[in-house]
Amino acid sequence: MSIDLGAFGAHLREHQTTPDGARELERAGYGTLWLDASPPADLTQAEALLDATTRLVIGTSVVNAWTADAAVVAASYHRIVAKHPHRFLLGFGIGHREVHAEYASPYAKLASYVDELTAAGVPAERIVLAALGPRMLRLARDRTAGTVPCMVTPEHTRQARAVLGAGKLLLPGHFALVEPDSRRARTIARSEPPGTALQVTNYAANLRRLGFTDDDLTGTGSDRLIDALVAHGEPATVAKQLAAHREAGADQVGIYPLGDAPIATLRTIAEAMRLGSGG
């Protein structure tokens, strides 16, 4: 039986996520709640959120291959799916060279991590890779169920679909902020990711592949770049911008809410997309 991820997912960091919040997102109509920022290998938070909900899929975005032992992750996966067999998706990635002193040979590291997970009985169709560039996308295509990239645009989604082909999961994440004032929206976006993450090598290289320049990437980003990475405006405008990923070939669009009230932002966007009524 396949996992029903839904057309839209919600991305939250550990401190933003509670069982009550997960239930609220489930009621709002989201198909998946993604746990961001390198959750620990024991995956206990994912398990607690699954225990608190009835339909919502929980995914990791992303388990860090440098810090989370693959054997522990695999054991955690099996523990979780024994209780919730069709509601958990394991996403993992390589982290960033700016953070991990041991960072080297990222492709070889991720290929080895896939080997360890699958040898421990984690099905390839239940894992997704945080892939940005063509080589990592090919690894996701050949060895896993697909990819869960972030800091991307609909153009990246089009290019990624061309690499992945049909039948592989493409689950991009996009920042969103319900704020009609463009200047204020850009200011908020520059004060947290994406603005504060533009100097991260992996992200910067990918954005250059998409046609953005050094001028766009200087500091906390040009208006052109911020507008490409962050859906902002009235709720209906935000919903339309997010839907561009679906039009470009995404199976699901994951929403990274910006600002001080992430659950409220996600709920407002869901209402604009009428997720709860199947819209």
pLDDT of residue 17: 93
Residues 44, 20 contacting (CB under 8 angstroms): no
Residue type, 169: L
Confidence check: pLDDT of 274 > 90: no
Residue type, 33: L
Q: What share of the chain is helix, strand, coil (3-state, %, to 5)?
A: 50, 15, 35
pLDDT of residue 182: 97
pLDDT tens per residue, range 203-251: 999 999 999 999 999 999 999 999 999 999 999 999 999 999 999 999 9
Count of other CB atoms within 10 angstroms of residue 130: 25
Using CB atoms within 10 Å of the CB of residue 105, give its burial: 0 to 12 exposed, 13 to 18 middle, 19+ buried.
exposed
Using CB atoms within 10 Å of the CB of residue 166, give its burial: 0 to 12 exposed, 13 to 18 middle, 19+ buried.
exposed
Q: How far apart are the first and last CA of the chain?
A: 24
- Gap between the Cα atoms of 219 and 33, Å rounded: 31
- Gap between the Cα atoms of 93 and 148, Å rounded: 9
pLDDT tens per residue, range 1-56: 589 999 999 999 988 999 999 999 999 999 999 998 888 999 999 999 999 999 99
Residue type, 102: E
**Token pair for residue 80?**
């979780």
pLDDT of residue 277: 42
- Gap between the Cα atoms of 156 and 132, Å rounded: 8
- Gap between the Cα atoms of 170 and 245, Å rounded: 10
Give the count of alpha carbons within 13 A of 200, CB side only: 18
Q: How confident is the model at residue 278 (pLDDT cuts 50, 70, 90)?
A: very low
